[in-house]
Structure 1
Amino acid sequence: MPKLLLAGAGHAHMAVMAAIPQLRARGHQVTAIGPGHRHSYSGMGPGMLGGAYTPDEISFPVRNMIENRGGEFITGIVATINPRRNRVVLESGQEVPYDVLSCNLGSFVPDDILASGPDEPSFQSLASRNIFPVKPIEQLFWARQRIQELAQDRQVRIGVCGGGAASVEVAGNAWVAAMSGEGKGGIVQLFARGALLKTMPEKVRGLVRKTFRGRKIKIFEESPVLSVHNGSILLANGQSHTQDMIFLALGVKPSSVFRASGLEVSRDGGLLVNQFLQCPAHPDIFGGGDCITFSPQPLAKVGVYAVRQNPVLRHNLQAQLEGRPLEPFDPGGGYLLIFNLGGGYGILHKNGFAFGGRTAFRIKDYIDRKFIQKYAITRSLSTDD
């Protein structure tokens, strides 16, 4: 029985997981590897920080989704891939065989700005030192609890490192978390390397600035973060800002698995794939989401592309198992982008059109919940090939 292995049970694999009964009916075995029995949806993570959602509301029960459809789920973390032996090696040492492999291993927030040295405590447990990278998403739930705990005693000082979409959403929702309940509130500072949201139209940037002024969230533009210490942020200009909570939202890098495996990668370490989402040097390896670099054209690290890759991966993985022609992936045109700034307020942007308000948040909430509901069921979906 040909073996399809899904390394990662993330956004780009949702349609494949839904089609497990159909794949099994055609004589294929499906196995998925994931670090836990649930997979959190990154698009709703900041909303969890702000209190709009619970962890269960923003996550897929991937283990049940796979096992109830007839697949096998292995709890583990991928360490390397051995394409010569068609094996995926887990950190536990377990080796999992495959005939066709698809990777959706996600990305991580680089931690190279964390101070280290003989006078700095170990950063092994960042959460215990109130330092929270925006990934893994699950950490934002614990960050909310910690903010509210600190706010019981004092006005909590919150620093956000980064000037992109993730940092803006985290800053807005961290402020909401601090102001919720009966605590003493909080002060939020955002430190951007260059201009705030530098790739966004000025209207979007203006809406964010206006919202943050109303909340007294201070934006430091052209202020690169040199290092993060326990309880402080040191800027390249020598300024130091004391913080009770620090969030790291300095962009993401693809999983380090591919470079460690000797596979062909891009400069940032993403698995290089062709128009079929396939590794050219190893045709039985495919990938989607943040962990890949799409060689035909650059793609932003946004969830919309993982969602659009779903049907192509669904088709191509089965086609590769059966020796049939592959379909190319078309990234499509512009996409709708909505920032959740917390408190039921959002900013919507598409093709130069932008507005802010509660309607924008309600649109995002509807789209996100619909996506969760579409795939977070344990029966199969209709998937015609």
Structure 2
Amino acid sequence: MGKHLVLAGGGHAHMETLANIRQFLDLGHRVTVIGPSDYHYYSGMGPGMLGATYEPDDIRFATRQKVEEQGGEFIRDEITGLDPSGRRLHLASGRVVDYDLVSFNTGSSVDLPEIVGDRSAIYTVKPIERLYEARQQIKKKAEQQAVHVAVVGGGPAGAEVAGNLRQLLGQTGHKTRVSLFAGHRFMSRFPENVRRRCWQLLEKNGVILHEYGYLKSITNNTLIFDSGISEHADFIILATGVHPSPFFKQSGVPTGPDGGLLVNDYLQSPKYPEIFGGGDCISFQSQALDKVGVYAVRENPILFHNLKAALQGKELLPFEPGGDYLLIFNLGNGQGLLRKKWLLFTGSLAFRIKDWIDKKFMTKFQKG
């Protein structure tokens, strides 16, 4: 008898499964995909969209179309609750969806500080599509007057967003300022040579970097830091820490230190074998994984195999995170940074390599 597979989220770790929904249907199963948008935006190209290197169509997958043209069901909604014992998902609309097997790839959300007053000029790096809205509003104002844009976040997301904002504002004709507020130490979890080269390239392109401490609150577009320093900006983009959806913890399923869905080597909940997951929303039991897209991409074939195997009662495959991964950033103005083991360089070649890799990934799943 056929079973019901639910894919919660259309993120990077589900790409292989989404591209092969027909295989599940041919085996007699039913597939439902739940997502907050008809499209899934590739986060690796989000800063490039902000900088106008790419347009939205270049960096998004038509999730609903892909699902429905293969015969699956797509529900545009947000998951607000999980009942693991009853095998049910509760949605924002009030709808309840039952499942036999579920896989989560719901991503993560940006941690927000206390915000007082008008929020209309405050953006977060997730969901990615908000960066396009930010691009339109910032560019429109910058074509009329001088603009100060503040980016908050000392990691790769903050660096890429700041660099691409500088690119966006380079041709406006008015005086513009892009400030990156990088906590107590810019790129603190990276080797000193990576940190230094990123800093130098951003400064060369006109980004002003500050290590004022952590952001405490925002009041009427004034940023207030734990050091007591405050700065006003016309626009604010938050690229700070991220957290998985809170419904995992609330549901009682095992979770990791960050509240993400705890999964074993098979990307499966150790307590509820009918629950799987990948990407930013999981906590991998065997080792801590960086919140980077490379792991979600590597999880793709394993999740696809294991979901099909679990439905058919066959053997699961373990996920091997792999060793050192390629670190590559788009820092704006056609410049990038690339590091792989001992190799480290910055410049246009680094950006061109990233652009080629990203476009190859997009082409595979946009047309596949």
Give the aligned CA root-mean-square deviation in angstroms: 1.3
| 1:52-75 alpha-carbon deviations (Å, 9 max, x no partner) | 011111000001111112211111
The counterpart of 1:162, out of the listed 153, 173, 188, is: 153
| 1:125-173 alpha-carbon deviations (Å, 9 max, x no partner) | x3x2x11111111111111111111212322111111110000001111
| 1:207-266 alpha-carbon deviations (Å, 9 max, x no partner) | 222222223322112522221222211121211111111111112111122122222112
Report SS of the residue matched to 1:342.
coil
| 1:11-41 alpha-carbon deviations (Å, 9 max, x no partner) | 1001111111112111111110011111100
For 2:79, give the aligned amino acid.
Answer: V
Q: What CA distance in whole angstroms lies between the structure 2 residues aligned with 1:309 and 1:216?
A: 38
Aligned 8 A contact 1:107 1:252 in 2: yes
For 1:226-241, list aligned pairs within 5 A.
226-241=216-231
CA distance 1:222–1:231, shift in 2 (3 Å): closer
Aligned partner of 1:223 in structure 2 is: 213
Q: Does structure 1 residue 149 correspond to structure 2 residue 150?
A: no
Aligned partner of 2:345 in structure 1 is: 355
Aligned partner of 1:258 in structure 2 is: 248
Aligned partner of 1:114 in structure 2 is: 114
Shift in Å, 1:185 = 4.0
Report SS of the residue matched to 2:166.
helix
Using the TM superposition, name which of 361-370 and 261-270 deviates more.
Answer: 261-270
The counterpart of 1:366, out of the listed 346, 356, 365, is: 356
The counterpart of 1:189, out of the listed 179, 202, 217, is: 179
For 1:199-214, list aligned pairs within 5 A.
199-214=189-204
Q: Does structure 1 residue 276 correspond to structure 2 residue 266?
A: yes
Aligned 8 A contact 1:156 1:178 in 2: no
User: Normalized against structure 1, the TM-score is what?
Assistant: 0.92
Aligned partner of 1:13 in structure 2 is: 14
For 1:151, give the aligned amino acid.
Answer: A
For 1:298, give the aligned amino acid.
Answer: A
User: Normalized against structure 2, the TM-score is what?
Assistant: 0.97
For 1:165, give the aligned amino acid.
Answer: P
Runs of 4+ residues over 6 Å off in structure 1 = none
Structure 1 unmatched ranges of 5 or more:
380-385
Q: What CA distance in whole angstroms lies between the structure 2 residues aligned with 1:211 and 1:247?
A: 20
| 1:80-127 alpha-carbon deviations (Å, 9 max, x no partner) | 11112211111111111111100001000011x133xxxx32x6xx3x
Aligned 8 A contact 2:330 2:351 in 1: yes
Using the TM superposition, name which of 303-312 and 205-214 deviates more.
Answer: 205-214
Report SS of the residue matched to 1:376.
helix
Structure 2 unmatched ranges of 5 or more:
none
**Pairs aligned (count):** 367
For 1:246, give the aligned amino acid.
Answer: I
Using the TM superposition, name which of 201-210 and 61-70 deviates more.
Answer: 201-210
Using the TM superposition, name which of 140-149 and 287-296 deviates more.
Answer: 140-149
For 2:96, give the aligned amino acid.
Answer: E
For 1:163, give the aligned amino acid.
Answer: G
Aligned 8 A contact 1:201 1:352 in 2: no
Q: What CA distance in whole angstroms lies between the structure 2 residues aligned with 1:216 and 1:374?
A: 35
Q: What CA distance in whole angstroms lies between the structure 2 residues aligned with 1:213 and 1:87?
A: 50
